[in-house]
A = this chain, B = another copy of it.
């Protein structure tokens, strides 16, 4: 199996990108195609022991920066994102992984790979820490406006990802709404509720904003507007609380001593919220495995993003979606 990795992705590229990919190549015996500027990749790669690894460099000088507009995907045909996607399209690689500009990465995947036959709209997902496990939330921003049928397809795709990549046997699927009871929600959400109820998915009803961090469901389905609000609110609140607590502790010498003693507990919390543990999240519905990680990714996050891609390929996820959508 070969992974096409955009080596120009992370904020600190290509350092964590290469480090994480070399680790992944060794851990799971994967072939890696590093896509990007060889003048930057080569010296970094030289710092690692790559003996026996199946790695190659696919050179391209162009790259799309974190703050560039998504239009750059069209104007920079040979940006590393586009070249990496092309390797998948041309069957020279099995999956596309990047820590880069997520809007551009989505667009590159969508234009370059197209939709899986029958899928109306691809969706971008996030994996969130939830109780003792994880919850896949989708869509988180690709589709602000949706139709009930899109939400049904998001549920199907999310359920397949939860099964094949997250290892959940019979994923519980919930629909994000503004109340628990059936009948709550926008007109579109209420229609989607009816579709989900009739489907053969393991639909457990509505989820509310408070349910996401509680392990309520394995998959939460939403339009890309409310899903985006939810994921960003989670990030914002977690950061605010931790920053505030730190500031309050700093003001008090005894509290500083106390916090030192309590550090292992704080570390456990940090680990739980650690983006790197998750690695990346999929774009679902495009015709090729696509995993996008956070720009702030370290080597561990890159490694875990590549692992998710590997599991999606091994689990034949694309085909499962193709078959699933035909049967919905």
Contacts and interface: CB of A to CB of B under 8 A. Distances in A.
Interface in A220-271: 222-226, 228-242, 244-245, 248-249, 251-252, 254-255, 257-266, 268-269
Given A176-B229, A255-B264, 14 more contacts: A141-B178, A178-B225, A186-B223, A186-B225, A209-B232, A210-B239, A229-B233, A233-B234, A245-B265, A248-B269, A254-B261, A255-B261, A258-B259, A259-B261
Given A248-B268, A257-B261, A228 B209 contact: yes
A213 interface: yes
Identical chains bound together, number: 2
Which 3 A-B residue pairs are closest in the complex by CB-CB distance?
A: A258-B261, A209-B232, A210-B236
B145 A186 contact: yes
Interface in A52-85: none
A236 to B, nearest CB: 3
26 contacts: A144-B178, A144-B184, A145-B186, A145-B187, A177-B225, A178-B224, A178-B228, A179-B228, A186-B223, A186-B225, A208-B228, A209-B231, A213-B237, A222-B229, A226-B226, A229-B230, A229-B233, A237-B237, A241-B242, A244-B272, A245-B266, A248-B265, A252-B262, A255-B262, A255-B264, A259-B265
A141 B179 contact: yes
A174 interface: no
Contacts of A236: 208-214
A185 interface: yes
A189 interface: yes
A130 to B, nearest CB: 9
Interface string A261-286: 11111101100100000000000000
Contacts of A212: 233, 236
Interface residues of A, number: 60
Residue of A209, A242, A245, A249 with most partner-chain B CB within 10 A: A209
A114 B82 CA distance: 57
A101 to B, nearest CB: 13
Interface string A163-189: 000000000000011110000111101
Nearest to A233: B209
A239 to B, nearest CB: 8
Contacts of A258: 257-263, 265
A241 B213 CA distance: 9
Contacts of A239: 210
